[in-house]
Structure 1
């Protein structure tokens, strides 16, 4: 049946469609960046133009499906379905499947050079590990499934509200600020570069034993095997084998001492990870709260390489909306700027993530957020609230985006991923 519909000069059509087929066209339309109604319209047009009827589709369990079509298209479709002695439900299912067959899922767009993102701040406790894990999970989510993402304008609204002195975080609770988008489907390696092993423990992996091989050994030029043998998969259906972790070892507490005896120590991390880079689209390094030689090596690893575009790799700085983060930020950026000058390299700032934000903490939080917004370069690319789901995921030793995929923190992590890729 049909009824006059919207101001867009289309008519509303109500029929039935199997749930699996409705989900498939919803995902594929999102992957192709078009409206579902445009996909159905094209499918019906192509079905009507066929010389013969396609193979029948199982429509058992079909339930209500509505869309908007150009005036007259549904009547034409109904007439052709009658001539072919095909029910409207079957004809619609064949039309949708025809569109799906002629519009395959696009390939995941992979970077020409493996992107290297160092997640850092000299201050501990700001949530670098949570951001590293959440960002990596968001980058690796299934490209053939839809996931709730905070739209870009919601972050802009939140930051504008900060400019205007508002205590609210617009867009965080408003369902209109969230859209369902396909996952990014990238191959991601998380590197736990912190001797405290927080990232390793949060994802339920075991730290590497002190008497075995480790990233520290490879950086110090004393490997005991292949680095690939140390990497573990974050086994979760949402990531489809695309998310891996290089666990930490407590021997990293001695890394600065061991690096002091290494030639070209700034490139030690790059030399260690070079054998595995081709296996990944993005490598995320969870840095320790340190300004030592290990941080020099991490910053150098994130430098812009020859032929690499601006902003593809670099430093992602995690802060909180309080004063001590600002002090640590100054120390970190001074170190990176000194390294830039001493070694004559380009180290890009990918942005600032304000983590664990809660406007209910009053003037300290809101005024500090304003301070981060005012920096402009690097700009604020993420605003993640201080909510219970992240803490629960850590307690359960599970990835946040699979433990609480619809939580505001998960939605914000996906938005962050899209801001920097």
Structure 2
């Protein structure tokens, strides 16, 4: 099982911090490509070496958890006691010191292509495309990125798991906009996903019950290249409003997947790896067989359309080494592929299942759990 740190070397600590300080820490850590726990550790170590710091307003604080090297937690508490400070104030001052010592890097020049487009796909169902795409979108938004999460699967699991209704078959929808059967602005269909430190940065485009018809209608259209370009043309008006557009794809190799793959291609003037596909898999053989079929589809599209589609990496989901040789040897095989790389391994834990049950985003239900931390790792790696 993958965890952020070996429990024998690290220990979990919990404090109450104001939302503004938590958000600033998460954004800055993402900007600098650093794990949050490492940033806090650096702050605590620097804080212990200096004697005076401005008081941080911790009123209205809520739970914040991280990991510190074993023994450092106790030393921090001893220092707080000697300085007549609360433990919460010591942690807050440490984080404030790290933020002040690690300023935000200069903003990058605006991208003429608009949002970075990341699709999550695998022909095999049940591998966790929905949970991984949703978790990564939350992590990107938590880091201050305006993020749009699209439920492109006609089953609508993403929409339902987040507690939103699917559009009715007669309503306007993404599918209808793709087929030019809808009037109005697609942006009117977006709903904000509330809660956690990503609030005001994350939106959902829900699924619609008519999406099952999309493949058949794309197959029968006579318009040249509409099969491949339909998703791009529908979303074009939204791209300048977002930093990332995340697409939860259907478990199929049909025309819908073709149009999603084409949408994630590397556009003219776009740096390689800016957009592309992430493939969630399981540590077992059927995932490898499904990936082989998806890979062939990607290569066919690359050749037919003369485009480049970046394979950003695998996320090995629901991994549990206690399942024995099948799981461990399969994980080794995913790692041995090398290119694309394994971006992260998501441990088999109850957090995501519970979040689905209560219809809450993972980073709201269990924001400091191991699965949430892995989602932040994936977000950091694909945004680097």
**In the alignment, what sits opposite 1:384?**
346
TM-score, scaled relative to structure 2: 0.75
The aligned counterpart of 2:124 is 123
Return the offset for 1:57. 7.1
Partner of 2:368: 406
For residue 291 of structure 1, the aligned residue among 233, 253, 256 is: 253
1:263 Cα offset (Å): 3.3
Partner residue in 1 for 2:286: 324
User: 1:237 deviation in Å?
Assistant: 3.8
**Which residue of 266, 274, 285 corresponds with 1:312?**
274
Q: Alignment partner for residue 205 of structure 1, among 150, 164, 181?
A: 164
Q: Deviations over 1:303-357 (max 9, x none)?
A: 0011111111001011101111111000000000000000000000000111011
Q: 1:233-288 deviations in whole A, cap 9, x for unaligned? A: 00114212101100001211010111121432201000000000111101010000
Deviations 1:150-192 (A, max 9, x none): xxxxxxxxxxxxxxxxxxxxxxxxxxxxxxxxxx211110010
Residues 325-340 of structure 1: pairs in structure 2 closer than 5 A:
325-340=287-302
Where 2:211 maps in the other structure, the secondary structure is helix
Q: Secondary structure at the match of 1:306?
A: coil
- CA separation in 1, counterparts of 2:322 and 2:270? 42
For 1:305 and 1:345, the matched residues in 2 are separated by 8
**Aligned residue among 330, 339, 349 for 1:368:** 330
Secondary structure of the structure 2 residue equivalent to 1:238: helix
RMSD over aligned CA atoms reads 3.4
Shift in CA distance, 356/98, structure 1 to aligned 2, threshold 3 Å: closer
CA 1:186/1:333 → structure 2, altered by over 3 Å: closer, same or farther? same
TM-score (norm 1): 0.69
CA distance in 1, matches of 2:138, 2:299: 30
Distance, in Å, in 2 between the alignment partners of 1:58 and 1:242 is 26
Deviation at 1:105, TM superposition (A): 5.9
Q: In structure 2, what is the Cα distance between the partners aligned to 1:59 and 1:130? A: 35
Query: Quick check: 1:321–1:357 contact (8 Å CA) kept in 2?
Result: yes
Unaligned runs of 5+ in 2: 1-16, 60-75, 81-91
Hey, what does 2:186 align to over in structure 1?
227
Matches within 5 A, 1:64-213: 66=79, 112=111, 113=113, 114-141=115-142, 184-213=143-172
| C-alpha distance in 1 between matches for 2:122 and 2:377 | 21
- Distance change >3 Å, CA 248–CA 100, structure 1 → 2: closer
391-400 vs 257-266, which moves further: 257-266
Deviation of 1:101 after TM superposition, in Å, equals: 8.4
Structure 1: any 5+ residue segments left out of the alignment?
Answer: 1-18, 48-55, 68-92, 142-183
Can you list the C-alpha shifts for 1:50-89, whole angstroms capped at 9, x where unaligned? Answer: xxxxxx979999x97859xxxxxxxxxxxxxxxxxxxxxx
Structure 2 CA distance for partners of 1:411 and 1:97, relative to 1, 3 Å: closer
Q: 1:303 aligns with which of 245, 258, 265?
A: 265
Q: Distance in 2 between matches of 1:372 and 1:209?
A: 40
Shift of 1:223: 1.6
Cα-to-partner distance string for 1:355-399 (whole Å, 9 max, x where unaligned): 011111111111111111111111111100111110000011100
